[in-house]
Amino acid sequence: EGTNGSGDKPTLSVVTEAGFMPFTYLDKGELTGFDIDLLEAVMGEAGYDYQIENVGWDAMLLSVEKGEADLAIAGITVNEERKETYDFSSAYFESTHKVVFREGEGITSGEDIKDLKVGVQSGTTGAEAVEKILGKNHENISKYDSNTLALMSLQSGDVDAVVTDNVVADEYVENNPEANVEMITDPDTFESEFYGIMFPKDSEVKEDINSALQTVIENGTYSEIYQEWFGA
């Protein structure tokens, strides 16, 4: 997929979880999204060819942890806990959480989900945020393997609300008018976080790729990609 390999650099193996529109998702079977375009630009800048595979969230994390994949990009939040297991690039996107809920549920703050059934993608910062409100492994928390499944469970009525990353919530609400859902954000409850590219601990390509990311941010390429995906 990358086209700017210099020849002497290895072809890198990239993993993602493509259920996170608009960052990484499938459009008619094609992997696409802001993260996918950013990756293409960064790998071109760094001079690596790469192959990218959509493997699912848990498999993605595991293959990076084991060093089977060279890196992952999937709207992955950088936090202290993950830094114990993985390395990260510098931040490339700021995020927070939103509550998506069926119209009329009357949710106005993060705390309002306390007595509701809440769906989350398991193993995400959204799941952690919900556990802070309801309690760890609370019976009213339904954990799904993907964010897509969590949002589907909201439409089917299995849960009353879903907590997910703000931009993903925005995209979902805008694209699914028939779902009759609304959303709120709550800066008092949901902290700001940052996405980074994830690497195995002993990565030999991290420095290269991180400096290419810096270049792409500084030379205007990042802004172009941002504009394409999020511009008015």
Site residues (vs ligand ARG, CB under 6 A): 17, 19-20, 24, 57, 74-77, 121, 124-126, 147, 165
Cα 149 from Cα 127, distance rounded (Å):
14
Q: How far is the CB of 95 from ligand ARG (least distance, A)?
A: 6
Q: Are 58 and 145 in contact (CB under 8 A)?
A: yes
Q: How far is the CB of 194 from ligand ARG (least distance, A)?
A: 9
End-to-end Cα separation, the chain, in angstroms: 29
Pairing of β 181-185 and β 193-195: unpaired
Per DSSP, the residues of 70-91 read: SEE-SSPBP-HHHHTTEEE---
Cα 190 from Cα 126, distance rounded (Å):
9
Q: How far is the CB of 9 from ligand ARG (least distance, A)?
A: 26
Q: How far is the CB of 19 from ligand ARG (least distance, A)?
A: 5
Q: Whose Cβ is closer to ligand ARG: residue 4's or residue 226's?
A: 226
Cα 52 from Cα 38, distance rounded (Å):
13
Cα 188 from Cα 73, distance rounded (Å):
28
Other CB atoms within 10 Å distance of the CB of residue 68: 12
Q: How far is the CB of 187 from ligand ARG (least distance, A)?
A: 17
What residue type is 140 in one-letter code? N
Q: How far is the CB of 57 from ligand ARG (least distance, A)?
A: 5
The count of C-alpha atoms lying within 13 angstroms of the C-alpha of 98, restricted to the half-sphere facing its C-beta, is 19
Q: Are 24 and 18 in contact (CB under 8 A)?
A: yes
